[in-house]
Amino acid sequence: MKKLISLMLVLVMCTLALTSCGGANGSPEAVVEAMMKVMTDFDVSGVKDLLPDEAWEKMYKELDVDEDEFWEDMEETFEEAKEEIEDADGYKVEYKIGDVEELDDDEVEELNEELEDLLDDDIDAAAIVTVETTITIEFEGEEMEMDEDVEYTVIKYDGKWYIHPEDMDLF
């Protein structure tokens, strides 16, 4: 039972914190879809495209860690989470990208103030994207299901859409 609780904590963490790439930055829905793919596939290679490069660079500096070391640690964390999941029978994540609510100019300006220390320039736009998730785990004969609607703030910066850094729970 302790292992099941540990597994659920990993899933909750992933749902809230991680939940892609190149073309994934073309719309609010696409970048959230990419984040959910990272979460469900435990694919660390997609994480870097979820935030602007300037945000990553400032985070490395803030954490006093070099880029290679950070990504090695991230890869290890993803691998450990993936191994925990593989130990569970019947693990399944289903999600549906829901509503997209564009933020007005005042709300975008508020986000610009929040992000001024993180990004070199102002964001162009922002939106709230709702994701309806269902996580089902069967472990040692017990099935647990968690349904949750999660809202992510996405920002448009330098022509591309990204997850708001606070929604990645890294800063």
What is the per-residue pLDDT for 76? Answer: 92
Establish how many alpha carbons lie within 13 A of residue 171's alpha carbon, considering only the half-sphere containing its beta carbon.
20
Q: Is 18 helix (H, G, I), strand (E, B) or coil?
A: coil
Domain that holds residue 120: 2-168
Question: Which of 12-16, 35-39, 146-150 is predicted least confidently?
Answer: 12-16
Q: Contact 152/39 with Cβ under 8 angstroms?
A: no
What is the per-residue pLDDT for 151? Answer: 85
What is the per-residue pLDDT for 170? Answer: 55
| Range among 2-6, 77-81, 147-151 rated most confident | 77-81
Q: 149: which 2 tokens?
A: 């609607």
**Spatial separation of the C-alpha atoms in residues 35 and 21, rounded to whole Å:** 9
**Spatial separation of the C-alpha atoms in residues 22 and 33, rounded to whole Å:** 13
The arithmetic mean of pLDDT across residues 74-84, rounded, is 88
Q: Are strands 89-102 and 160-163 parallel, antiparallel or unpaired?
A: unpaired
The arithmetic mean of pLDDT across residues 15-32, rounded, is 62
Length reported for the chain: 171
Counting the structural domains of the chain, the total is: 1
